Amino acid sequence: MNIKLIALDMDGTLLNEKKEISEANRKAIRDAEARGIHVVISTGRSMATLRDLAKSLSLSSYLVTVNGSEIWDEHGELVERSIVHNDLMTWMFDLSKTHKTGYWATSTERVFFNEMPEDLSTYQWLKFGYEIEDDKARETILKELRSRGEFEITNSSPTNLEVNAIGINKAKGIEKVCALLGITMENVMACGDSMNDLAMIKEAGLGVAMGNAQEIVKEAADWVTLSNDEDGVAEAIKKYVL
């Protein structure tokens, strides 16, 4: 396979359960970059919660953050941003209050956990998330979100829902990066574990699911590697790139 770009999710993929990047994963990434391969972090995290981890990797390529809502270049400059309008954020916030769920909200400046500013219009918003342990309540909220037809709905764990602007996902973010680099999705190996990785795993030339991935992700992938606690990213890079 002619892999020119490796797209890596962070939580549950590149990071182990201690939220650390193993030395084996770091070495595999360095070796791939030494061969001229672009290594792109593609995550649900915001730049604020990703910056230190990304710096520790010393990557020389783009970052796709907040499930594709933002794309950053190798100098840390913003390339593109897609926002969720304030009225939709207010509606989603009200929905969480109605169903008494845990929630978080990502703005361009910070992430709010189980709290929101008094005036939502003072921020630009990128994503709203629900944390819902009860399966029935989660299904009810999912139906309400879908009925609006204005959202891209995924998850980063089986108990949450992540909501971006419609049409925004990691695959679209990686496609944009590919266009900037003059390559195609056929040249991409994408690794992930959750629903917010599904689009990029399906659309990449090679889609890799982690051993700890949700079943729907494993079913969509071309190959299943080891878990995030077993250096699954390094295993995939060694097998298909090195």
Q: Which residues are catalytic?
A: 9
Are 42 and 173 in contact by the 8 Å Cβ rule? The answer is: yes
- Identify which of 137, 151, 44 has the alpha carbon closest to the alpha carbon of residue 91: 151
CB-count burial class (<10 Å; 0-12, 13-18, 19+) for 188: buried
> In whole angstroms, how far apart are CA 117 and each of 80, 84, 114, 186, 206?
25, 16, 11, 43, 42
Q: Output DSSP code: residue 227.
A: -
Are 218 and 209 in contact by the 8 Å Cβ rule? The answer is: yes
